[in-house]
């Protein structure tokens, strides 16, 4: 009887222990690749480690992360057996594979793949020393932005028109319209301010206060504008920013000067191997003939930095290399757009929840935050950024000063004419307004009459 009681007590103890132990921690396999998974002392960190922590927080599971034993992502050998992280998931050695695993049809047939958590494509990087600077016929316009050039043109036209009007209105510039010849025509007004832009000037110069105010403000405007232009132009000429002479895969395949390759046996390698595109087939044949493939992404980045080598890979890893190494630049063309996914054994009940968690993280902006965190650009060549075209809003104070000068000049010219009209009104015993109106009419009418007289005289001659 005592023995039976002891057996019952042991069974109850075992059952209670099983009930309180909780679910076992999931085994997660990954691979070292910056910035997805990196070592920090004895700990692992990176984009995929942070992503795994966020998913575990949402789904409420514990996990243990280990590095894949053979150091491979996942490919089939000659006998059809899977290697790398995919192999560990297929054999049951890992519950999940969280890394920069590309979603492919072959992998989808052997394991469960989640919705992609990161989109990427295939591009290539090479050294800036292999670039050639682009030449432009209008490169002299680059120091100023389009808005800035429009602002300068408007300021030029408005100032020329204001000088012309002041020269017509002010009695200090044109004392007697009936006897004196008017020297400041519209054409001469624009020629005068053009001379100021060349720092030379063109006579005759304004004699009245109103004309001199506009002229002085325009000279200040011209000097500051030229200083900004030549400063920015000099910076652009001295800039070391270069543009890649080989801009796309077609140009890469057509040349033989720069060698190129990718990670042997990876998804990018298989893409070129299985492609029916003539350009991509030519690239694969070149890599096979020259044996130019590399064993890892790190080796590809190193060879690209040494020069005369273009490393072909996925944009996610290439962008990180460009952000860290200032002497590298990535091609603008991306092909074979693809995504990185999490792998689980076939029939895994967790995959649906993992996919939902990834979508929630994407919708909340968490994935974008993680990408900006781990792909931050730490490259600042020559201690600064590439020079940019000068924007109009940076010199808005200068344009406001010019507008104020033109308005003040016109106001003073009108006051000078009003003072003269008032004196004439006293002498002629007429109203000041009528004399002022007659004076303005005579000044602008005489200009048209003089122009007509000159035209008739030229036609007679």
Helix (H) or strand (E) holding 122: strand 118-127
What predicted TM-score, i.e. pTM, was given to this entire model? Answer: 0.51
Helix (H) or strand (E) holding 340: strand 335-344
The rounded Cα 213 to chain-centroid distance in angstroms is 43
CB burial of residue 155 (10 Å; 0-12, 13-18, 19+): buried
pLDDT of residue 449: 47
422 is in an annotated binding site: no
- The CB-based long-range contact list for 102-105 (8 Å cut-off, 24+ gap) reads 102/73, 102/267, 102/314, 102/338, 102/339, 102/340, 102/341, 103/338, 103/339, 103/340, 103/341, 104/267, 104/338
177: helix, coil or strand? coil
Give the integer Cα–Cα distance in Å for 267 and 271: 6
The rounded Cα 240 to chain-centroid distance in angstroms is 17
314 is in an annotated binding site: yes
Helix (H) or strand (E) holding 224: helix 209-238
Cβ atoms within 10 Å of 451's Cβ, excluding its own: 12
448 is in an annotated binding site: no
Give the integer Cα–Cα distance in Å for 350 and 291: 42
Give the integer Cα–Cα distance in Å for 319 and 16: 53
266: nearest Cα among 317, 192, 203: 317
Residue 57 DSSP one-character state:
H
DSSP 258-307: SEEE-BTTSHHHHHHHH---HHHHHHHHHHHHHT--BSSHHHHHHHHHHS
268 is in an annotated binding site: yes
Give the integer Cα–Cα distance in Å for 402 and 10: 97
- Say if residues 370 and 51 touch (Cβ distance below 8 Å): yes
CATH assignment of 139-238?
1.10.287
342: helix, coil or strand? strand
pLDDT digit of tens for each residue in the chain (461 aa)? Answer: 455 555 444 554 444 444 444 568 899 999 988 888 888 888 899 999 999 999 999 999 999 999 998 888 888 888 889 999 999 999 999 999 999 888 888 899 999 999 999 988 899 988 876 654 444 566 777 788 888 889 889 999 999 888 888 888 877 777 666 666 666 778 888 888 888 877 776 667 777 788 888 888 888 998 898 888 888 877 766 654 444 467 788 888 888 888 899 988 887 888 899 899 999 999 999 999 988 899 888 899 889 888 889 999 888 888 888 888 888 888 888 888 888 999 999 999 899 999 999 999 999 999 999 988 888 776 654 444 455 777 878 888 888 998 998 899 888 888 877 777 776 666 666 666 766 666 667 666 755 445 444 444 444 44
Taken in order 87, 88, 91, 97, the sign of the CA dihedral is negative
Cβ neighbours of residue 23 closer than 8 Å, sequence gap 6 or more: 61, 62
pLDDT of residue 49: 93
- How are the residues of the chain apportioned to helix, strand and coil, as percentages rounded to the nearest 5? 55, 15, 30
pLDDT of residue 383: 43
> For 178, how many CA atoms within 13 A lie in the half-sphere containing its CB?
2
Taken in order 193, 195, 196, 202, the sign of the CA dihedral is negative
- Say if residues 298 and 325 touch (Cβ distance below 8 Å): no
Cβ atoms within 10 Å of 40's Cβ, excluding its own: 9
Query: What are the boundaries of each domain within the chain?
Result: 139-238, 397-433
Question: How many helices (DSSP H) and strands (DSSP E) are in the chain?
Answer: 16, 11
pLDDT of residue 414: 82
Cis bond before residue 204 (omega within 30° of 0): yes
Give the integer Cα–Cα distance in Å for 248 and 380: 25
pLDDT of residue 446: 56
Give the integer Cα–Cα distance in Å for 32 and 44: 9
The strand ranges marked E within 31-103 are 38-40, 43-45, 63-67, 96-102
- Say if residues 311 and 304 touch (Cβ distance below 8 Å): yes
CB burial of residue 93 (10 Å; 0-12, 13-18, 19+): middle
């Amino acid at each position: 009887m005592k023995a039976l009681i002891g057996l019952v007590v042991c069974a109850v103890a075992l059952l209670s222990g099983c009930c309180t132990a909780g679910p076992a921690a999931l085994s997660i396999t990954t691979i070292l690749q910056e910035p997805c998974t990196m070592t920090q002392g004895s700990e692992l960190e990176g984009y995929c480690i942070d992503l795994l922590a966020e998913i575990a927080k949402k789904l409420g599971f514990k996990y243990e992360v280990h590095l894949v034993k053979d150091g491979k992502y996942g490919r089939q050998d000659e006998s059809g057996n899977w290697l790398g992280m995919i192999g560990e998931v297929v054999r049951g050695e890992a519950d999940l594979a969280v890394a920069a695993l590309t979603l492919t049809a072959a992998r989808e047939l052997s394991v469960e793949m989640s919705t992609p958590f990161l989109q990427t494509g295939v591009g290539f990087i090479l050294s800036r020393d292999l670039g050639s600077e682009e030449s432009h016929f209008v490169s002299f316009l680059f120091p100023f932005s389009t808005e800035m050039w429009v602002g300068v043109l408007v300021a030029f036209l408005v100032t020329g028109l204001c000088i012309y009007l002041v020269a017509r209105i002010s009695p200090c510039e044109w004392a007697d319209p009936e006897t004196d010849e008017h020297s400041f025509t519209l054409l001469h007004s624009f020629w005068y301010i053009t001379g100021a832009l060349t720092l030379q000037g063109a006579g005759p110069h304004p004699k009245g206060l109103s004309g001199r105010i506009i002229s002085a403000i325009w000279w200040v405007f011209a000097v500051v504008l030229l200083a900004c232009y030549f400063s920015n132009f000099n910076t652009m000429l001295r800039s070391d920013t270069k543009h890649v002479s080989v801009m796309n895969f077609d140009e890469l395949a057509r040349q033989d000067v720069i060698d190129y390759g990718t990670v042997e046996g990876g998804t990018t390698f298989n893409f070129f191997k299985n492609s029916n595109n003539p350009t991509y087939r030519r690239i694969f044949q070149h890599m096979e003939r020259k044996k130019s493939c590399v064993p890892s992404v790190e080796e590809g980045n190193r060879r690209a930095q040494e020069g005369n080598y273009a490393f072909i890979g996925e944009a996610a890893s290439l962008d990180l290399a460009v952000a860290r190494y200032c002497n590298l630049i990535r091609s603008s063309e991306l092909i074979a757009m693809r995504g990185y996914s999490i792998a689980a054994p076939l029939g895994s009940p967790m995959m649906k929840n993992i996919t939902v968690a990834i979508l929630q993280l994407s919708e909340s902006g968490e994935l974008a935050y993680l990408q900006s965190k781990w792909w931050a650009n730490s490259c600042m060549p020559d201690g600064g950024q590439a020079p940019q075209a000068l924007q109009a809003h940076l010199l808005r104070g200068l344009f406001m000063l010019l507008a104020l000068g033109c308005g003040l000049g016109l106001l003073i010219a009108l006051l000078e004419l009003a003072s003269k009209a008032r004196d004439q009104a006293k002498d002629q015993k007429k109203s000041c307004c009528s004399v002022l109106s007659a004076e303005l009419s005579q000044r602008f009418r005489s200009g048209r009459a003089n122009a007509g007289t000159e035209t008739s005289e030229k036609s007679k001659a």
